[in-house]
Chain A
């Protein structure tokens, strides 16, 4: 039995253990679940150290100490101290330390989000200003016009659905909101279909892996 085959065999058994939940809750599934969690956390811990913390924090700090570069040493120490503050939350007396770094993260995060939203959403917003009559090559493009009309109907009606300050007892806002709800349902349906496709792909890949490992 070579190493590759043994590895596939273990992998296949793990897949079968996890999929056994489809039959019913059992000890093999529980064992597989704990094995997966333990391995993932162990791998991630080692990988974060060697792939990120060591080259990005420890090595620059060590280089700074070796070269007597005080700015590099100060940055390394300050970052380390700030990182330690996260653990302040585990004790009542030092809880404020965690709040300090949470404040920094929230402040920086909020600033980032405002900028990101503006640069990401503005092009989407401006591209939604479409004309219901599309003129191409000197004539009306009926197909493009129909596309735009459907798009604008969906956009405006969905917006109406979320106008809670307008009295929906009047005929126009009520009908518009209903049409909006229809489009929302179409959107949720598409979303659900895509979800299904993702889950099915994951299942197909795993089942084929077991078939390939055991029977080919």
Chain B
């Protein structure tokens, strides 16, 4: 018995990888009613959109691509659903060359679902925030039409009536970034200079750095990784009167929970193995 327990210390990690992938596959089919209470950060993000009166458009920066689709797609979809539900017009820009390729695919699907039109309800200007970000964001905040030039159909911002009055940071109702890590330049050029609120959707790995800004009140809300996306999708589902647990973000929470449980079991077994391996040594 002692030998068997001590052997856990030298367990081939491939068993763990196999078990983790197996659990993830099962979670793809499992329908576990996982009701999650939205966190304070997610509720604040939701409220930031709820507070909008619709007189000013919203600027949404979307950077997610194949590397961050797991965490950020659900956040992006829920954000767009919320904006569509509230009939708030918005502009999409990206700081990632691959960004528009990913978000436009979702936008076409969501526009059809909600009966919204390009140009009337939303516009995409594509990859307009390259590095260095401080210069790009400052330029965007100072003169939006000059910075973005033309949209995906080569039309200038002035071609859309609801964008004619938008020029500087103050002319936006809210700035949202669904990016791997928050874009702090928005705090300087939009929150501090333009008094425009800023809400963030980011990967969990980067959220640790965003918390001080949220507690300080300069960030209006944060969606933290897959958890934030799942919670937000549940809030939107409840608002729409849909059955929750069907969307990608919500299902991802089941996979996450299963994965975390396996890791906790792995940590316990590894420590038990380590303890008995040490005891065995003379």
Contacts and interface: CB of A to CB of B under 8 A. Distances in A.
Interface stretch (A83-91, A93-101, A170-178, A197-205): A197-205
Contact of A204 (B216, B217, B252, B263): B252
Interface string B158-192: 00000000000000000000000000110110001
6 contacts: A56-B149, A119-B188, A119-B193, A194-B205, A201-B70, A204-B252
B207 A194 contact: yes
Chain A's interface size range is: 35 or more
B204 A197 contact: yes
Contacts of B98: 43-44, 47
A190 interface: yes
Interface stretch (A73-81, A120-128, A133-141): A120-128
Interface SS majority for chain A: helix
Contact of A194 (B24, B138, B208, B213): B208
B184 A204 contact: no
A204 B27 contact: yes
Q: Dominant SS at the B interface?
A: helix
B70 A43 contact: no
A216 to B, nearest CB: 9
B208 A201 contact: no
A40 to B, nearest CB: 8
Contacts of B100: 51
A187 B211 CA distance: 12
A211 B28 contact: yes
Contacts of A206: 70
B134 A127 contact: no
B71 A201 contact: yes
B225 A123 contact: no
